[in-house]
Every structure is written in structure tokens, then in C-alpha cells.
Chains A and B, each alone.
Chain A
Amino acid sequence: MNGETVAFYILAVITLAGGLVVVTSPNIVHSAVALIPTFLGVTGLYVLLSAEFVAGIQVLIYAGAITVLILFVIMLTEGGTGVRVRQRNEQSALGAVVALAMAALLIAVATRVPWPAGAGALPSYTPGAIGQSFLGPNLLVFEGTSVVLLVSLVGAIVIARKEE
């Protein structure tokens, strides 16, 4: 039981607890704000995987920008009045059964399959290595990303401005 394992468990608890609040809270603003500990927990998990650049991005984009976006959306719609969302419906019991079956399946797969261990050293996740990767071998993906961003920007503006 070394420090990393302890850190992993703590971060896992934070992430799962945050996620639980997001999914089950009847107050939608609470759900949105609970995203923050969830994202920060994931950030910690990235750090444990030696991917600090990705961790930094996670905080910057998810906890910083996406949460703000979601909160703006909530505050602009009726959910913002503190309308309490119903958390259960007539199919809750059946849904719980399906969820448990799914969980059992995933756990069985994760623990019983003999995953091949990766050979060689861990690839470097420093900003320098990432930069060399997407400016070199993965160039097409990189330029493709800019097109995807452009398309999503245009699409969102078209949809949001439709009301006039």
C-alpha cells in the first residue's frame, strides 16, 4: 500500500461521489456544480498515469470552460429556477436490474480477460513529446481537429441564432 495506491483510492472516491451527485441530485444546479469534483478527481487520475499535460488540459477545459458553459445553459433555461427534477419513474426497478447486470458484465470482463501487458517503456506524455507527435506522425489528426472545431463553432452559432 504505497502513496500512489492511497492517492488512487482517494481520487476514485472523489470522482465517483461527484458523479453520483451529478446523476442523482434533484437540483440541476447542484448536479452541474458537482461536476467540478468529478473533473478534478479525473485530473488526479491523469496525474497518477504520468500524463500531467493532459491533467492540466482537463482542468483548463473541463473544470474551467465546460462547467461554465453548462452553468450558462442551465441558467438560461427553466431549469435555472430550481425546478426539482424527478429522479425516479415507473421503470426504476427494471433499470436498476439492467444496470447491475451491466456492471457485473464489465467487472467480469475487466478481471477475467488476460490483458497483454504492454512491452517497452511508457511513452512520454510531456508537452514536448506530444507536440512532436501531432506535428509529425499524427499531423492529419491535428489538422482534422481544427476542422472539427470550426464545424462545431459554425454549427452551434447557427443553432443558437435560429430564433431570430
Chain B
Amino acid sequence: MPWYLELLRAAAGTVIIFSAVAVVAAMFGVLLERKISGWIQSRLGPKHVGPQGLLQTLADTLKLLQKEHIVPRNADVVIFSSAVIVVPLAALLDYVVIPFGTTRWGPLIFRDLNIGLLYFAATSSLVVVGILMAGWGSNNKYALLGGLRAAAQMVSYEIPIGLALVTVAMLAGSLSTVTIVNAQAHLWYVVVQPVAFLIFLTAATAEVNRVPFDLVEAESELVAGYFSEYTGMRFALFQLGEYGEMFAMAAMAVTLFLGGWHSPWPGPSLPPVLWFVIKLYAVIFVFMWVRWTYPRFRIDQLLGFSWKVLIPVALLNLVATAFVVMVLHR
């Protein structure tokens, strides 16, 4: 089709994805977090605003929009401001390769890139740079320390994620997410690769700076870590980045290990998009459940865990899987 229609289609798709992520991940996700935390702690979450508290996050967002925009003295304004854009943008770029389901016109994905998995790993690593910029630009030693620690943590956990991705790519023989989902039509990869699944979930929790790996933004430790100096909407945008990344990781876990949009049993059942959403929220629930159950790791335990436990296990899993694939392929 002519180029201006393609452009319109791309722009429309982007707006839809961004809005969906902003509403589903940031707003609804934050509310879900508060409700689940309340349930686990034997109390009710927010109930006041809207039916069952559903409009709570909307109210919070409207409040944050009116907050004063303060730039600290001596902050590096260029870097301080660009970091606000880089972090959520990098998190949202992840969504290009996530297949949300399939319709009769083909898979529901923004763009099925040939190097989908590599692209996902690459955009996840862009978030780290944004965090360093935020920590630096604030001209605040706590923010800087938080940013450096966050960066050290996130890069340490990118390797196990990469190894898990490679293992799945090996099973499917492709880096394209749609191909990987289609390869799971009869058997989900979680059955074949439970170790890689666990490694991915653990590393993803650390990559998004969630408990038990959230030392870098723990309220009692470093104020708010690398985003201490950000007020109002800027803070909300960082939260959008964090929750958006968490949902993206969960969506990738569903795509790689839980069969994407396929239903667990053959034959007619719910529409594929609905299956994807159900599985996505199941994984999100696990993330949130873990958050409110475990205490926090110390920074040295956290980093040691990645390099000394996750990476060797992931490497061994990779070699073992390669061996089995080679033997079976004869």
C-alpha cells in the first residue's frame, strides 16, 4: 500500500499500543498491585474512588499532573529531562515484537521482526542507560548511587535473560516471536524447559527492580533511588517505564514459555487474545505475589546470585538442551 497509508498504520498502531500499555500496565497494574498487596496483607486495597477503587490510579494521575515541576539547582537539565523520556520509551519499545494473539488476518503483533528476541534484549538494555542518566542528572549523591547500583544490577541480570532467550530460540530454530509461539502449538516450552522458565522469571524480576531485588529503589534505603529528584508527572513516567517493562517481561514469558495465544486444550475455546491476556495476568499475579511475600536481598547477595548461580545454571541448561536437540535431530 502507498507509503502514507503505511505511515498512518504505523502511527495508529503506536498510539494504540502506548495507550493500552499506559492504561493496562501503569494504571490498572498499579491498582492491581495495591489490591493484591492488600489481599495478601489481610486488608482491603483502595476502595473509595470509583467502584471497588477502579478509578484510583486515574485520580492519582490527575493529581500528579498538577504537581509543580521542580528542577533541582545544579542538576544537569539536558540529561535530567532526557532521562524522563528515554526510560519509558525504551520500556515501551519492547512491545513491538510481542504477539498479543492471532486473528484471521494473521498474528496480532506490531511488527514480527526477524530478529525479535535480539530486539527485545537490545531495548531492555537501553533502559539501563536511561537510569544512569536519571541518577546522574539529579545532582544528588543518593540518586547517583541508586542509579549506579540499579545499572549494575540490571546489567548483571541481562545475561541470564539472554541465555534463557537463546535456549528458547534454539528449540524453535528462530528469533521471531511469532515463529516461537507457533512452534508451541502442541507443547508449551515451559514443559520442556522449566529451568529456563524459572531463570527467566527470576531474572526478569531483577531486571525490573522488583522485590526481592528492589534494593535500588527501596524506600527505606535510598529515598527513592535514582528518581528521588523527580516530581509529579516525571515520577509517573518513570513508574510507567517500570510497570511497562514488567508487563513486557511477563508478556515475553507468556510468548516464550506459555504458548503465547494458544489454548491449553485443542478444539474450540476462548479467542486467542483472551488466552494471552489470561496468561499474562497469571504471570503478573505471580510477580506481585512474590513481591509481597519475600524480603529484600542485599546488593552483594543480589549480584552474587546472578553471576554465581543463575549464569552457571543457565549455561549448563543451554549445553544440556543443545545436546538433546542434537541427538534428537539425527
Task: Among A30, A57, A65, A71, point to the contact of B132 (Cβ < 8 A).
Answer: A71
Please tell me if the beta carbons of A82 and B125 are within 8 angstroms of each other in the complex. Answer: no
Instruction: Give bound CA distance, A114 to B123, whole Å.
Output: 40
8 A Cβ contacts from B96-129 to A: 113-115, 118-119, 121-123, 125-126, 128-129
| Complex contacts, B113 vs chain A, CB 8 Å | 52
| Interface residue from B79, B121, B144, B155 paired with A68 (Cβ < 8 Å) | B155
- Tell whether, in the assembled complex, residue B122 and residue A56 are in contact, meaning their CB atoms are under 8 Å apart: yes
Q: Indicate if A53 sits at the interface (CB-CB under 8 A).
A: yes
Interface: A63 (CB within 8 A):
yes
CA distance A127 to B113 in the complex (A): 12
Q: A29 contacts the other chain (Cβ, under 8 Å)?
A: yes
Does B3 have its Cβ within 8 Å of any Cβ on chain A?
A: yes
How far does the Cβ of A45 sit from chain B's closest Cβ, in whole Å? 16
B204 located at the interface, meaning its Cβ lies under 8 Å from any Cβ of chain A in the complex: no
Residues of chain A in range 24-75 having any CB-CB distance to chain B below 8 Å: 27, 29-30, 33, 36, 52-53, 56-57, 59-60, 63-65, 67-68, 71-72, 75
Q: Report the minimum CB–CB distance from A138 to chain B (whole Å).
A: 20
Is B121's CB under 8 angstroms from A126's CB?
no
Q: List 15 A-B contacts (CB under 8 A).
A: A27-B76, A29-B76, A29-B79, A33-B133, A52-B113, A53-B115, A56-B119, A59-B126, A60-B118, A64-B126, A68-B128, A68-B132, A68-B155, A71-B136, A72-B148
Is there contact, CB below 8 Å, between B118 and A29? no
Question: B270 on the interface (CB 8 Å rule)?
Answer: no
A136 located at the interface, meaning its Cβ lies under 8 Å from any Cβ of chain B in the complex: no
Contacts A57-B118, A60-B118, A71-B129: A3 and B3 contacting too (C-beta < 8 A)? yes
B118 nearest CB neighbor, chain A only? A56
Bound CA span A131–B183, Å: 21
Complex formed: what's the CA distance from A67 to B122 in Å? 13
- Identify 13 new A-B residue pairs, CB closer than 8 A, beyond the known A59-B123, A59-B125, A64-B122: A29-B76, A33-B79, A52-B113, A53-B115, A56-B115, A59-B122, A65-B125, A65-B155, A68-B155, A71-B129, A71-B132, A127-B115, A127-B175
Contact for B144 among A52, A56, A57, A75, CB less than 8 A: A75
Residues from chain A with Cβ under 8 Å of B114 in the complex: 52, 126-127
Q: Quick check: A82 and B128 within 8 Å, CB to CB?
A: no
* B82 contacts chain A at the CB level, 8 A cutoff: yes
In the A-B complex, the 5 residue pairs with the smallest Cβ-Cβ separation, listed nearest first, are A64-B125, A56-B118, A59-B122, A60-B122, A56-B115
Contact indicator per residue, chain B 240-266, by CB within 8 Å of chain A (1) or not (0): 000000000000000000000000000
Please indicate the chain B residues that have their CB under 8 angstroms from the CB of A3 in the complex: 3
A:66-108 near B, CB below 8 Å: 67-68, 71-72, 75, 82
Q: Is the CB of B115 within 8 A of A52?
A: yes
Q: Which of B78, B115, B128, B144 interacts with A64 by CB under 8 Å? A: B128
B180 close to A (CB within 8 Å): no
In B131-158, which residues have CB < 8 Å from any A CB?
Answer: 132-133, 136, 144, 148, 151, 155
Closest residue of chain B to A127 (Cβ to Cβ) is: B175
**Shortest beta-carbon distance from A29 to chain B in Å:** 6
Point out the residues of chain A lying under 8 angstroms from B148, CB to CB: 72, 75
CB distance from B274 to the nearest CB of A (A): 32
* Cβ contacts under 8 Å, A29 to chain B: 76, 79, 136
Could you mark each residue 67-95 of chain B with 1 if its beta carbon is under 8 Å from any beta carbon of chain A, else 0? 00000000010110010000000000000
